[in-house]
Chain A
Amino acid sequence: MRTIIRRSAAPAAIALTLALGACAQGSATRTDDAAATGGPVTVRYMNFSANGGHEQDLDAIKSAFESANPDIKIQLETVPYDDYFTKLQTAVAGGTASDAFELNYENFVTYSSNGSLAALKDVDGSAYKPSLLEAFSADGTQYGLPESFSNVVLFYNKDLFAEAGVDEPTADWTWADEKAAAEKLTDKKKGVWGDYQPISFFEYYKAVAQAGGEFVSPDGSAAAFDSDAGRAAAEWLVGKSGTTMPMEADGAGTPDFDSKLFKDGKLAMWHTGIWMFGGMADAPFDWDIVVEPGDTTKASAMFTNGAVVNAQSKNQEAAQKWVTFLTSSDEMVQKRLETSWELPPVADESQLASYLDTGEPKNRQAVFDSLDATVLPPVIERQQEMQDAVDKQLGDAAAGRTPVDEAVAKAAKAVDALLK
């Protein structure tokens, strides 16, 4: 027995030394121990909305916060939107998620209902637009603060309209006007397309509303788009593919395809969000925006992002301070307006006045006019599966693999199954 112990002792001692060495290294890089030592607290914040051009703007807000709160350090982590929710889910599951993080409205329900968000204490709600504040509460508890909002408008290339001798779009346009103009503007020989609108869930639920329909039944128990309005909306999107709009085989739907096409001056009309203003500022032609045309009624897509505090964070108080600053400070409002980022969620709309004359496009009033009739994305617990199911059926219809009516019926059936 003694020899067994002796023979195992030396290797065991080496193994132990190595293991301890590894642990010591590990803990030196951990951030949450700082609180215990009384030094400045580090709050980690993960987000997607600064990605792709607004990293420095978020950095500026962080610096402003740190000089106002010298005892708190912010560590930013910016992740591209496409990877963000996979990464977040894994991090939350593994207990390594940041102290505070960004959530869009569509994913807020999933996270607030599974207990991963900390309830915020003593929130001063007066700073926020009430409807947006409401969007980040659940069962009367405020689990997040609205951070920004944005909407989708119709971008158009003024030079192409002039060249083709077509009247520019106005706020009174309907689908029929858009279609007629798109047909005249499309010149496949020159590689110029009249229109671009992604054939996807995010365009579809809005088009259903524009056609006067509903996506889900009022009690949220079943899909409601297998209707005349739902079919009209699908027909509207799918009908563009290959006639006035590039098809999947032309590259449509691949990343940056549409923004590149518009910037190259090869696209006359483009349905996209106001977050593209910055990227198009240096386009070498004249362009402007207008409220999206509707069918029987106007409806504009509105998106909102919020900032939340991780329920597992050891620095919840500091994290809430940062989240509050990030969503309501004057520095944030200023930065968002001057850089044409997504709009700040402030209650006092007079603060937004400077946005109207910050530069291209000229008709920024359309951004606010769009807010008169907005529609938020339908949200269910199995959100991603619903989006994928609708995308798949619309894609099949656009490629001519499934008749439009059948695709709508199949999508509705799939959504029904997810709501059960």
Chain B
Amino acid sequence: MSVVGALRPTRRPSAGGASRAGGARGSAWRNRGWVLLFLAPSAIPLLMFTVLPMLGSVWVSLHSWNLISPMRWVGLDNYRGLLDDPTTRHVFRNTLLYCLGYLPLVYAGGLGLALALNQRLRGRSLFRAAFFLPVVTSWVVVALVWKWLLNPSNGLVNTVLGAVGLPQPGWWTDPTWALPAVILSSAWKDLGFVMVIMLAGLQAIPADVLEAARADGANAWQRFWRITLPLLSPSTFFVVVISLINGFQVFDQVYVMTGGGPSGASQVVVGQIYDLTFRYGRAGEASALSWLLFAVILLITAVQIRGQKRWVHHA
């Protein structure tokens, strides 16, 4: 049997939605062998490198394990130990602070860019591409460039600040500034992503609604607050959910820019998971910490999904 033959529906779909859907489902089931084969290239890696390790980490989190010696059963001790450990609170606090700084910055910046680039500007495709470029650039490259820009003694940012007579913060050498430095670079990198989502949202707003508002005498400011922003709320919702999930998992930029320092001031949850596993050989506690993080992200996302009814307007 040829591949083409296998894929061709064996029965002509009859008129009527219900039976057409039934027919499609039926042929998918009859061709499940082929369906599975074509799913395999993405399903097998997902199963092997995401689902199984995830399930495995439940088991590991109940043991004391340094990756090399045999595992020792400790039950829920790892979870209890983490809840008592001030370091756990410290890294969750830093992660939360990161999200609180990052989200408004990236949202406002991305929305502003989208509004600007939704106008008829000369070369706007070029600008759109330019702002999107950092999104698809490797985090290691971006973090190294930012680390260099924010070098406290001879970086470009401090050189400019010094030239105009402003104070020059010790970015990654001063505990007060290490987290803001990470937030700044992260917001810069992800601006383009928010911009693209918001641009799509802006283009989905029906022109006649804006037209009607204009006819009723609404000025630009009123049109933005009363029409554009409410109709953008599905996009806003998506951006907030995704950014918070990503924000809680922040790691690469911290690892490259500050290594969690100075003095632990920018250590985040995933950084702590990494250190526990690969620096200290405490894989059990690291797995338990990943599940705590999972629980927190799940909770926050669930609250957002429940809360969306109050403020997300679907056009």
- What is A's interface to B at a CB cutoff of 8 Å? 7-12, 14-15, 86, 89-90, 92-93, 110-111, 114-116, 248-251, 382, 384-385, 388, 392, 395-396, 399, 401
CA distance A382 to B280 in the complex (A): 7
Which one, B1, B68, B174, B175, contacts A114 given CB within 8 A?
B68
Q: A115 and B278: CB pair below 8 A?
A: no
Q: A89 and B281: CB pair below 8 A?
A: yes
Smallest CB separation, A189 vs chain B (Å):
16
The A-contacting residues of B in range 278-304, CB under 8 angstroms, are 278-281
Q: A392 and B69: CB pair below 8 A?
A: no
Q: A11 and B66: CB pair below 8 A?
A: no
Q: A114 and B153: CB pair below 8 A?
A: no
Which residues of chain B are near A399, meaning CB under 8 Å? 173, 262-263
Can you report 15 A-B residue pairs in the complex whose CB atoms are below 8 A from each other? A7-B30, A10-B1, A10-B6, A15-B40, A89-B68, A92-B68, A114-B66, A115-B68, A115-B69, A116-B68, A249-B152, A250-B153, A385-B280, A395-B261, A399-B173
Which residues of chain B are near A115, meaning CB under 8 Å? 68-69
Q: Interface stretch among B31-39, B76-84, B205-213, B224-232?
A: B31-39
Q: A395 and B279: CB pair below 8 A?
A: no
Given contacts A89-B67, A395-B261, 6 further A-B contacts (CB under 8 A): A7-B31, A10-B33, A92-B68, A385-B280, A399-B263, A401-B175
Main secondary structure of the interface of A (DSSP, over half): helix
Smallest CB separation, B153 vs chain A (Å):
6
CA distance A12 to B264 in the complex (A): 52
Q: A392 and B281: CB pair below 8 A?
A: no
Q: A11 and B281: CB pair below 8 A?
A: no
CA distance A11 to B173 in the complex (A): 58
Q: B262 and A90: CB pair below 8 A?
A: no
CA distance A52 to B220 in the complex (A): 63
Smallest CB separation, B15 vs chain A (Å):
28
Cβ of B170 under 8 Å from chain A: yes
> 7 nearest interchain CB pairs?
A93-B67, A11-B37, A8-B33, A11-B33, A114-B69, A249-B173, A114-B68
Smallest CB separation, B90 vs chain A (Å):
12
Which residues of chain A are near B32, meaning CB under 8 Å? 7-8
CA distance A399 to B177 in the complex (A): 14
Q: B280 and A7: CB pair below 8 A?
A: no
When A15-B37, A395-B262, A396-B263 are in contact, do A90 and B278 touch as well, CB less than 8 Å?
yes
**Beta-carbon nearest neighbor of A5 in chain B:** B33
Which residues of chain B are near A90, meaning CB under 8 Å? 67, 278
Smallest CB separation, B74 vs chain A (Å):
16
Q: B170 and A249: CB pair below 8 A?
A: yes
Smallest CB separation, B11 vs chain A (Å):
15
Which residues of chain B are near A248, meaning CB under 8 Å? 173, 262
Q: B33 and A251: CB pair below 8 A?
A: no
- What is B's interface to A at a CB cutoff of 8 Å? 1, 6, 30-34, 36-37, 40, 66-69, 152-153, 170, 173-175, 261-264, 278-281
Q: B37 and A14: CB pair below 8 A?
A: yes
Which residues of chain A are near B68, meaning CB under 8 Å? 89, 92-93, 111, 114-116
Which residues of chain A are near B67, meaning CB under 8 Å? 89-90, 92-93
Smallest CB separation, A241 vs chain B (Å):
12
CA distance A249 to B178 in the complex (A): 13
**Beta-carbon nearest neighbor of A97 in chain B:** B68
When A86-B279, A90-B67, A93-B68 are in contact, do A11 and B262 touch as well, CB less than 8 Å?
no
Smallest CB separation, B194 vs chain A (Å):
33
Smallest CB separation, A234 vs chain B (Å):
15
Which one, B6, B66, B69, B278, contacts A86 given CB within 8 A?
B278
Q: A251 and B153: CB pair below 8 A?
A: yes
Smallest CB separation, B16 vs chain A (Å):
27
CA distance A408 to B206 in the complex (A): 66
Which residues of chain B are near A14, meaning CB under 8 Å? 37
Which residues of chain A are near B279, meaning CB under 8 Å? 86, 384, 388
Smallest CB separation, A294 vs chain B (Å):
30
Q: A12 and B33: CB pair below 8 A?
A: yes
**Beta-carbon nearest neighbor of B41 in chain A:** A18
**Beta-carbon nearest neighbor of B35 in chain A:** A11
CA distance A78 to B153 in the complex (A): 34
Smallest CB separation, B2 vs chain A (Å):
10
Which residues of chain A are near B33, meaning CB under 8 Å? 7-12
Which residues of chain B are near A86, meaning CB under 8 Å? 278-279
Which residues of chain B are near A89, meaning CB under 8 Å? 67-68, 278, 281
Which residues of chain B are near A395, meaning CB under 8 Å? 261-263
When A7-B33, A93-B67, A116-B68 are in contact, do A392 and B264 touch as well, CB less than 8 Å?
yes
Smallest CB separation, B164 vs chain A (Å):
20
Smallest CB separation, A92 vs chain B (Å):
5
Smallest CB separation, B166 vs chain A (Å):
17
Which residues of chain B are near A250, meaning CB under 8 Å? 153
Which residues of chain A are near B36, meaning CB under 8 Å? 11
**Beta-carbon nearest neighbor of A92 in chain B:** B68
Which residues of chain A are near B278, meaning CB under 8 Å? 86, 89-90
